[in-house]
Structure formats: C-alpha cells, structure tokens
A and B are shown apart, each in its own frame.
Chain A
Amino acid sequence: SQTIHQWPATLVQPVGSPLSLECTVEGTSNPNLYWYRQAAGRGLQLLFYSVGIGQISSEVPQNLSASRPQDRQFILSSKKLLLSDSGFYLCAWSVGLISNQPQHFGDGTRLSIL
C-alpha cells in the first residue's frame, strides 16, 4: 500500500533562517505531488505541484520554492523565512490525471517563525 512521510513534524525557526521540509511517497510510481499551507483555522492553499521529476508549478508567488529531485521526493525550501511563513504545511500525492482520485496527505509540519 502507498504511504506518505513528511518531516519534521514541528519546526521553530527564526526570521531570516533557511527552510527545508521533505516529503517522500512509497508504494507508487510517478505520483503527482503537492505542497499546501494551512493558516490557523483556515482551509488549505495550494503552493506547488509537480507531475514529474524536475517539473514544478507554482500557484502563489512567495519566498518559498519547491524541488523534486527524485520521483517520490518533494522538498519545500526557503532561503530566508518571513513571519508570514508560519503555518501548517501539508504534502500530498495523487495518481495521474484520473479525476475521481483523491489527494492523500501526510501528517503535516507545524512551522513557527519567531
């Protein structure tokens, strides 16, 4: 069966520091991969998605970036964090372009910027 791993679970970082969040999927090949951010008490906002190695689409301009160095690995990065980057970050995967297939989420990373 497919599983998705996301780490770290929680992270406290000072303003201006770099960021690297990692997500890996097991049990499937060539998944679509997604990074979402959830502000406190709000719904999810799509940040990036990827349909293949090295292919990244950005939904929201910001100081974050994403990379997909391997088929089942998705990384969210920042060179300099802002206070507004605080939130709950979720990685997700889905199968191809099959419209009725849901996205499956990791457990998330709670990021606090001080």
Chain B
Amino acid sequence: AQKITQTQPGMFVQEKEAVTLDCTYDTSDPSYGLFWYKQPSSGEMIFLIYQGSYDQQNATEGRYSLNFQKARKSANLVISASQLGDSAMYFCAMREGRSSYKLIFGSGTRLLVRP
C-alpha cells in the first residue's frame, strides 16, 4: 500500500486565491512527522512546513498552513494568496518513528498559478 498518496497530479489556481493540495498517509506508528516540499522547475527541493503527529495545533509558516486531520490521516497544504512564483511541484513526505532517517515521498502535485 502507498504510504503517501497525493491524488491531484495537477491543479490550477487564480493568482491571489487560496489553494489546497491534498495528502493522505498510512502508518501504524503513533510517532511520525509530515513534511511539505516545493520543487520549482529548476529542480531544487525547498522545505515549506512540518507537522508532528503529537502536535495539537496545525502548523503555519507565512502563507503556508497545514490542515492536519489525524483521524482521517490527512495533511493537506493550504497556500493562501497564491503568487505566480508558487507555480511548482509540491511533495508531501512522511518520516515514521522517532528515530527514523527515511523520508517517504508522495508522487507530487503540479500547481500552476494563473495571472
């Protein structure tokens, strides 16, 4: 079974509007971390936001917020006030366990911001 599932291969959003990128995960470990990365066309992976499994509040970083629904095993990324520079691939990733080195990545969502 897929550990990380991103069901939206591609999405469009109008500039200045908000957009939600979906991510569901599968783990039986009570301790895990969820990460979102942005990959522009140039290729580098840019860390955006982190949510721990024991965190009580949803993570926020500037225009990025994470809609964490633990019971549903979802960790959706919300980008508010979209900008043209937000056009990129977005990857959700999970680290299982307290001492795991491994990040498991989803297949990504390509976001295109329209002017």
Within 8 A of B (CB), among A58-114: 59, 88, 90, 92, 94, 97, 99-100, 102-108, 110
**What does the 1/0 interface line of A36-53 toward B look like (CB < 8 Å)?**
000001111110010100
Is A24 at the interface (CB under 8 A from chain B)?
Answer: no
B42–chain A nearest beta-carbon distance, Å: 7
A43-B107, A99-B33 known; A107 and B43 CB under 8 Å? yes
**Interface residue tally on B, bucketed by range:** 20 to 34
Determine the chain A residues whose CB is within 8 A of the CB of B35 once the complex forms: 102-103
- C-alpha gap A96/B78 in the complex (Å): 29
Within 8 A of B (CB), among A9-43: 32, 34, 41-43
A92–chain B nearest beta-carbon distance, Å: 8
Count A interface residues, CB 8 Å.
Answer: 27
- C-alpha gap A102/B35 in the complex (Å): 7
Within 8 A of A (CB), among B17-41: 31, 33, 35, 37
**Interface of chain B: mostly helix, strand, loop or mixed:** loop
B47's contact among A46, A59, A104, by CB below 8 Å, is which? A104
A43–chain B nearest beta-carbon distance, Å: 4
- C-alpha gap A93/B2 in the complex (Å): 25
Q: List chain B positions with a Cβ less than 8 A from chain A.
A: 4, 31, 33, 35, 37, 42-47, 50, 52, 91, 93, 95, 97-103, 105-108
17 A-B pairs with CB atoms under 8 Å apart are: A43-B4, A43-B91, A43-B106, A45-B105, A46-B103, A57-B101, A90-B43, A97-B98, A97-B101, A99-B98, A100-B52, A102-B35, A103-B103, A105-B37, A105-B44, A107-B42, A108-B43
